[in-house]
A and B are shown apart, each in its own frame.
Chain A
Amino acid sequence: MKQFLNSQGLLTQTLPELASPSHLLQLYSDMVTLQLFDKKAINLQRTGNMSTFPPSHGQEALFIGMGRAMQATDVFCPYYRDHGTLMLRGVPMQKILSYWGGNEEGSHFGIQNQDMPITVPIASQLLLAAGVAYAIKKRKQTRAVVASCGDGGTSKGDFYESLNLAGVWKLPIVFVINNNQWAISVPQHAQTASTTIAQKSVAAGFEGFQIDGNDVIAVQYYIEQALNKARNGGGPTLIEAITYRLSDHTTADDASRYQDPDQLAQAWQKEPLARLRTYLKEKGHWSAEQEKILTEKNQQRIQQAVQAYLNQAEPEPEDMFDYLYETLPKELVKQRQSLRKTYRVEA
């Protein structure tokens, strides 16, 4: 497992160039933002202002490192837990809240980019990603695709199909697997008898390896390397990031039904934020005072997004028609009118 910073906050190899003190502070700050955002989102759910939410706890380093590794012109094909990365791709927090708050506007992102929307049918995004990668390759562009999914997702045919194709066509794509040890209640060893997920790339004919997904430096560094390779014609890479889901699967789940508390307690020892904080403190780059300022700054920013989310107008019922086709067929124009009449009458 590739790593720079272990769970005690000690270096296990020389830091790469990207790890300047200011950049490490940036990564730390990003992770704090995500953690606070998730706590807030869970609160919104608990107070009836959001339906279901999939938290990032325990996987902040992966989502942040992945976001920081990508260039703006790359394409991200996320799965439903990837909002931390999407935020770094420029998607406003308010949009993430809208999406999980039951409003399609959330997937518009409100920005110009070609990233795929959050994908719920597991692993299906990996095939979309392979198609994107082919388009990039065909046009000889120096861009690459990051396709992400969970450990459970690697049991789907779509996972094997996309790996296979990426190998055969030598596509500019990096598969990043968030191995958080669980697919809802099913532990990773019940998904595969394979020692690692990374080794599945061998059968597809390209390189794969494990990284410590709790080490944000390793995450950014190795995904960056793989993206560089992909952009320069070197083909695909499979990266298995070892993390741990330190929360319920979603707000609709109760992990205490199936999770061993000892295992959970152990996983907390490897949590991604503490180790970087320890390291930064050790090097004199971080203090309790800074932590306080950072938290306050973040909380303000998050609170603004939450207010914007709570204040935003409800979508118009007709919206369900208005993005179906470029031109609404006449039969549907009638249905749209009937919907308008119905809700006006009922209102």
Chain B
Amino acid sequence: MKAITLVEAVNQALDYEMSADESIVLLGEDIAKNGGVFRATLDLFDKFGAERVLDTPLAESMIAGIAIGMASQGLKPVAEFQFMGFIYSAFDHIISHASRLRNRTRGRLTCPVVYRAPYGGGIHAPEHHSESTEALFAHIPGLRVVIPSSPARAYGLLLAAIRNPDPVIFLEPKRLYRLFKQVVPNTGQALPLDCCFTLMPGDDITLVTWGAMVYETMLAAKQLGETQGIHCEVIDVATIKPLDMEMIIHSVQKTGRCIIIHEAARNCGVGAEIAANLAEHALMSLLAPVQRITGYDTIMPYYRLEKHYMPSVNKIVHTAQEMMEFV
């Protein structure tokens, strides 16, 4: 079987599920003939036709809103925002309707929408094309927020997101879109939406991360293990909301140390939520203060400086070493 990239895995999941479920429609800007600016919807227009793969007029608020209406009628819209930085005008619909429709109608109407968007930095894109604002969505009750970090998890989590009966924000780390390949059997097997993934077992430090930062974190963990004998347990959170704190707490109870790594700005980032949970539930297990390695509380700089903004392998290694020396 051929190995595929993360963006091809997204495509494969959409293809699989659209074949299986007639009620799925795709909507977004440039997703039809052009196959999406990252080609996530490549060939789906030819295969499923213009009634199921819709190029919309250019308006994100509209995309978010019509998806909710469609969903209330039993369609299953998977909407693409071209970049995360262009979702903001759609907030009203996502926050005021998508997240609330079930609750507001006491379950009479539901909103099984998936809102997909590429996110994150590191590809030398222009302004607004590189941010990580997952915490904005994680703050909203009624939403789910899912972030895959490998082709296999992109496939399994996207299937799960589409099958889930509630609105899901599905954020794709665009830096990983074509960074590496995996064999992903097209079996339609979904992954759970409420559990973390342990990517590497270890006893010394728990490294908690998600999205593209999984890549740097794994490199750092390997380096720490091979050169310093520091054995990290690496957890890919993957479902940012709801957070699977059980698995993280369980790991920290074993290691006694935790570093949270995310690309997003620090203040009120999802790392703060994880750290607060550890303070509440794992304080007695901690051998050192919980650390966060994050983007700065600045605007994501244009690409000349983006490497200075994003957490590096070095910084993770450094922080881990310091943590081991903490007494």
Q: A residues bordering B, Cβ < 8 Å?
A: 51-52, 80, 100-104, 120-122, 124, 152-153, 155-158, 183-186, 190-192, 252-253, 257-258, 314-315, 317, 319-321, 324, 331-332, 335, 339, 342-343, 345-346
Contact = CB atoms under 8 A, between A and B. Distances in A.
Interface in B261-301: 266, 296-299, 301
Nearest to B34: A185
B58 A104 contact: no
Given A102-B303, A152-B58, A184-B34, 19 more contacts: A51-B124, A51-B303, A102-B305, A102-B306, A121-B85, A121-B89, A152-B57, A153-B58, A157-B62, A183-B29, A184-B30, A185-B30, A190-B55, A314-B304, A315-B304, A321-B296, A335-B297, A339-B296, A345-B318
Contacts of B62: 155, 157
17 contacts: A155-B57, A155-B58, A157-B59, A157-B61, A184-B30, A185-B55, A186-B29, A186-B55, A186-B57, A253-B37, A257-B33, A315-B305, A317-B305, A321-B298, A331-B297, A335-B297, A342-B315
B30 A186 contact: yes
Contacts of B125: 51-52
Nearest to A346: B314
What interface size band does chain B fall in? 35 or more
Contacts of B34: 184-185, 257-258
A100 B126 contact: yes
Given A157-B61, A190-B57, A314-B304, A320 B30 contact: no
Contacts, number: 115
Interface of B: 29-30, 32-35, 37, 55, 57-59, 61-62, 85-86, 88-89, 124-129, 266, 296-299, 301-306, 308-309, 312, 314-315, 318
A92 B314 CA distance: 39
A84 B210 CA distance: 41
Nearest 10 Cβ contacts at the A-B interface: A102-B303, A185-B34, A155-B57, A152-B58, A317-B308, A320-B298, A102-B302, A51-B124, A102-B304, A155-B58
Contacts of B58: 122, 152-153, 155-156, 183, 186, 191
B140 to A, nearest CB: 21
Nearest to A343: B308
A317 B312 CA distance: 15
A104 B128 CA distance: 13
Given A184-B30, A335-B297, A320 B305 contact: yes
B74 to A, nearest CB: 26
A121 B29 contact: no
A120 B303 contact: no
Nearest to B312: A346
B66 to A, nearest CB: 13
B33 A51 contact: no
B298 A324 contact: yes
Nearest to A54: B126
A308 B309 CA distance: 26
A252 B124 CA distance: 11
* Of B30, B59, B129, most A-chain CB atoms within 10 Å: B59
